[in-house]
């Protein structure tokens, strides 16, 4: 069974895109078949892999708004060894288009259903929002990963996400579980980073991944070089930490009952 994982946090700049892109790349190192879906109208994951808006005819917006089969939206990202479904700023219209539909939140799941078992893992990058786009991603997923940068707003934004997650579960719309919280942009030299990190350990215990992703210049350089850090510099601390996170995810998803 293919496993669908959304990377979510309504707070901006918590490394959702970096985590989605680098996890997709990490899974291929253990021969997993992976699809990365850029589900953000900002197109950050598409840009982070070097794609221009005009490079493909179909994307996740045409799949959902024009009923194009998702199979026609898949592009192989040869440098990373995984497939991608790119985004378009047209996706911004999705919430207003879906607004009045009864099963609005299940639209991404319906779109992906025919291809879920073609992959071991499908990773979805989501926008910094809890609007219908993110809700659709949550409802299409088996698991959610929450990247949290260790600043003072970290816990607030996570609690907002968890409230929405619980509501969608209560309403029977989402069936996913929280796979884990990953500390990102972690700076062990900063006392605030360490304090927030300890608070997260105290509050979320086993839900917190052991791996944290440190602030690493190679990750920001790789974004500018338009490739995953594993392609940009596979010996970097950032690459090694994402591989370690990938190892934890493999273990957790193997032992999970889902
Ligand atoms: N571990 C890291 N070390 C250094 N820079 C990082 C790291 N992780 C992410 N970045 C940089 O931080 C910025 C924000 O990261 P990213 O785009 O992944 O966040 P995001 O949560 O997807 O943002 P948004 O909410 O806008 O979608 C990017 O410029 C990225 O290159
Ligand atoms: Mg992003």
Question: In which domain, by residue range, is 89 found?
Answer: 3-255
| Residue numbers of the chain with a pLDDT score lower than 50 | none
Distance from the alpha carbon of residue 99 to the mean position of ligand 2, in angstroms: 23
Atom number in ligand 1 closest to CA 14: 21
Specify the pLDDT at position 106.
96
pLDDT digits (tens, 9 = 90+) for 138-185: 999 999 999 999 887 878 899 999 999 999 999 999 999 999 999 999
- Residue whose CA is closest, atom 30 of ligand 1? 220
Atom number in ligand 1 closest to CA 147: 21
Distance from the alpha carbon of residue 18 to the mean position of ligand 2, in angstroms: 7
Atom number in ligand 1 closest to CA 184: 1
**Total tally of structural domains belonging to the chain:** 1
Torsion on CA atoms 84, 86, 92, 93, rounded to nearest 10: -90
**CATH code of the domain containing 215:** 3.40.50.300
Give the β-pairing of 121-125 and 177-184: unpaired
Report residue 181: phi and psi, to 5°. -110, 130
- Residue whose CA is closest, atom 13 of ligand 1? 13
Going by C-beta distance under 8 Å and a sequence separation of 6 or more, which residues neighbour residue 95?
Answer: 131, 132, 133
- Residue whose CA is closest, atom 31 of ligand 1? 220
Specify the pLDDT at position 100.
86
Distance CA 160, CA 109 (A): 23
Question: pTM above 0.95?
Answer: yes
Specify the pLDDT at position 152.
79
- Residue whose CA is closest, atom 14 of ligand 1? 13
Specify the pLDDT at position 237.
98
Q: According to DSSP H, which parts of the chain are helical? A: 16-28, 44-48, 60-65, 94-98, 107-112, 132-139, 154-170, 191-204, 217-224, 229-232, 237-255
Specify the pLDDT at position 256.
61
Q: Is 121 helix (H, G, I), strand (E, B) or coil?
A: strand
């Amino acid at each position: 069974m293919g496993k669908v994982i959304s990377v979510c946090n309504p707070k901006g700049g918590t490394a959702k895109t970096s985590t989605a892109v680098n996890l997709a790349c990490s899974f291929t190192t253990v021969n997993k078949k992976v699809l990365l879906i850029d589900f953000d109208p900002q197109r950050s994951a598409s840009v982070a892999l070097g794609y221009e808006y005009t490079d493909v005819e179909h994307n996740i917006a045409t799949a959902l708004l024009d009923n194009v089969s998702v199979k026609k939206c898949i592009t192989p990202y040869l440098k990373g060894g995984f497939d991608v479904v790119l985004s378009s700023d047209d996706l911004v219209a999705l919430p207003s288009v879906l607004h009045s539909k009864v099963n609005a939140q299940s639209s991404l799941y319906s779109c992906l259903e025919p291809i879920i078992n073609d992959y071991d893992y499908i990773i979805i990058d989501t926008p910094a929002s809890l609007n219908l786009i993110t809700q659709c991603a949550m409802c299409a997923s088996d698991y959610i990963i929450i990247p949290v940068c260790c600043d003072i707003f970290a816990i607030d934004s996570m609690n907002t996400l968890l409230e929405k997650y619980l509501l969608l579960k209560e309403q029977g719309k989402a069936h996913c579980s929280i796979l884990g919280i990953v500390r990102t942009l972690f700076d062990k030299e900063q006392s605030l980073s360490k304090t927030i990190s300890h608070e997260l350990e105290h509050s979320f215990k086993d839900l917190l991944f052991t791996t944290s992703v440190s602030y690493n210049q190679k990750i920001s350089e790789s974004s500018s070089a338009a490739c995953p850090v594993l392609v940009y510099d596979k010996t970097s601390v950032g690459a090694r930490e994402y591989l370690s996170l990938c190892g934890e995810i493999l273990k957790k998803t193997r032992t999970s009952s889902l």
